[in-house]
Structure 1
Amino acid sequence: MKLNKLAALTALALSSTMASQAAFAEWSANAGVMSDYHFRGIQQTESASAYAGVDFESEEGFYVGTWGAEVEDGLEVDLYAGYGTELDNGLGLSVGFTTYQYTGDFDSAYNELNFGLSYDFVSFEYSIGDWDGVVGDEANTESKYEFLAVTLEHEGFYATFGKWGREFSGEYGEFGYGTEYEGFDLGVALVVSGSELDDSESLYFTIGKTFSL
C-alpha cells in the first residue's frame, strides 16, 4: 500500500483480495500479471508485477483467503477473512478484516477493518486501519487512516472514486473494463491520482486466470 512513497496509498479493485467465485466452488485460486501494480490510487511498482491468491467461501457467506504480489522490494502478502450476504431485496452487506504484510523493506504492515454495501450496479467500501509506520522509524511514524470508495459497474465497465482520510489524505479515480476471453481474465484501467497522492495518470493492463479447486 506504500503510504510513505506518495506523500505518505482496484489494483484490480481491492486487488483481488476478494476474487469472485462460482456458487458451487468453495475453493478457488487466481494468478496473473499486471503491467504495473496500483492499489487505491497509489502505484506500487513501476514495472510488471505477478500475483496469485487462494480463497475459500462457505455456503453461509463466510470467506477467508490470501493474495500476494511482487512489489519493488520483496512481496506484499495479504491475509483476509470476513462475512458477506445478500438480502432478499438485493442489498449486499459485508464485514471483514485484512492485514497487508511485506517480506522486504518496501513498507511496514497495515491492518484494516473492512465494511461493504452494494445494491444493483453501485457498491461502497469503507475501511479503517492502522499503519505500523515508516520502515526503520515505526514508533515515531505509526498512524491511523480510513478509506472510502464508491464503484459503479455495468457489463464489465467500472468507475471508482476513492478517498483517504484521517492522518493521511488524498483521492483518486479509476476507470476500467474487464472481461473473460478463452478462459483468461483480461482488464485495462486508467488511474488518475490527485495532487495529495502522486498527481499522475497511469494506464495499466492485467491478464490472469481463476481456477476452481
Structure 2
Amino acid sequence: MKNVFGLKKTVLAASIVAASLAPAIAAAEVSGTLGASSQYLWRGQQLTDGAAVYGSVDYSHTSGLYAGAWASSETDDTEYDLYAGYGGEIEGLSYDISYIDYNYTAGGTAGDNPASGADFQEVHLGVGFAGLSADAFIGVGNSGKGGDEDYESDYFAVGYGYDKYSATVGFYDFEADDSDYTHVDLGYAVTEQFTFTLSKIVDQEEDNTYDDDLVMSVAYEFAL
C-alpha cells in the first residue's frame, strides 16, 4: 500500500507504503499514480527479490469521502488493494478512517522471502498534527480466499516529518505472539516524487527469521 500521512499524497517511506490512505481534499476528483521502487518494503519487511512497479486510481470528493484501487507487482505474485474512507482536517488536526481490502492474485508466494501469505482486511485510523502522525491498522474480516479464519494481526506506527526528512517507528502485533517486531524507517525526499528510505528491523521475537539488515529503498511516483 502507498504511504500517505495526513492529507497530502507523497511517497514518504516505501516500507510502510500503506501507512495512511486519505487523498488531498483539494485534489481533482479522479487522479492516478504510477511508481517504481528498487524493492518492495512493507512495514519493515523486504517483500520482493528485486524491483517493483505500482499504480493507483483514486476518486475523492470535497466532502472528504474517497475510494480507490492500488496494484503492485511482487515476487511471483500481483497485489491489488481496494479501499474507501473519509478524511478531513480541523484547525490543523488531520484525521482519517478507512477500510482496506488486500488481495493477491496467487494467494501468496513461496520462497525465503514470500511477498504475501493470504488476502486480508484492515480498518485504518489515523491522525496528524504539526508534522506528527499516528496510525493504527486493525485486522478484521477473514484471511485467505474463502477462508473462515479471522485475521487478528494489528500494526501501529508513529512518525514525524520535517521539510524533506521523515522518521517512522512501526510495531507489528501479530496474532501469533512469537512473530511481533518493531522497525524504524528514515526517509529523504529528493523531490515530491523521488524518495530514499532506510529501513531496519530493530527488535523482533527470538524465533523470528525476518531480515534485520539495513535496507535502502528508492521510490518514484507521479500523477497520471
Relative to 1, partners in 2 of residues 1:189 and 1:92: Cα closer, same or farther, differing over 3 Å? Answer: same
Which contiguous aligned blocks of 4+ residues in structure 1 show a shift greater than 6 angstroms?
Answer: none
Distance in 1, matches of 2:28 and 2:213, equals: 40
**Structure 1 stretches of 5 or more lacking a match?**
2-9
What 5-or-longer segments of structure 2 have no aligned partner?
Answer: 2-12, 109-116
Q: 2:98 aligns to what?
A: 96
Q: Which residue of 2 aligns with 1:207?
A: 220
Change (3 A) 1:151 1:40: same
Alpha-carbon distance, 1:11 to partner: 2.2
Does structure 2 conserve the Cα–Cα contact (< 8 Å) formed by 1:11 and 1:37?
yes
1:115 to 125, 134, 137: 125
Judging changes above 3 Å, is the alpha-carbon distance between structure 1 residues 13 and 36 closer, same or farther for their aligned structure 2 residues?
A: same
Structure 1 stretch displaced more, 36-45 or 202-211 = 202-211
For residues 53 and 81 of structure 2, the distance between their equivalents in structure 1, rounded to whole angstroms, comes to 14
d(CA) in 2 for partners of 1:42, 1:77: 18
In 1, the alpha carbon distance for the partners of 2:20 and 2:131 equals: 20
Aligned to 2:83: 80
1:11-66 deviation line (CA, Å, top 9, x unaligned): 26434873754715121100011100011111110200010101111101111111
Greater percentage in strand: 1
**Secondary structure at the counterpart of residue 219 of structure 2:** strand
Say whether residues 1:195 and 2:197 are aligned partners. Answer: no
Question: Aligned match of 2:47 in 44, 48, 52?
Answer: 44
Residues in 2 aligned to 1:25 and 1:17: alpha-carbon distance in whole angstroms: 19
**CA-CA distance at 1:135 after TM superposition:** 8.4
Q: Which has the higher helix share?
A: 1
Residue 183 (structure 2) aligned to one of 172, 175, 197: 172
Deviation at 1:180, TM superposition (A): 2.7
Spell out, residue by residue over 1:62-103, the C-alpha distance to the aligned partner (whole angstroms, 9 max, x if none): 111111111112201011110011012x11111110010000
Q: Normalising by structure 2, what TM-score? A: 0.78
**Percent same amino acid among aligned pairs?**
27
* Root-mean-square deviation (Å): 2.5
Contact residue 154 and residue 172 of structure 2 kept, 8 A: yes
8 Å contact from structure 1 (residues 19, 55) kept in 2? no
The aligned length equals 197
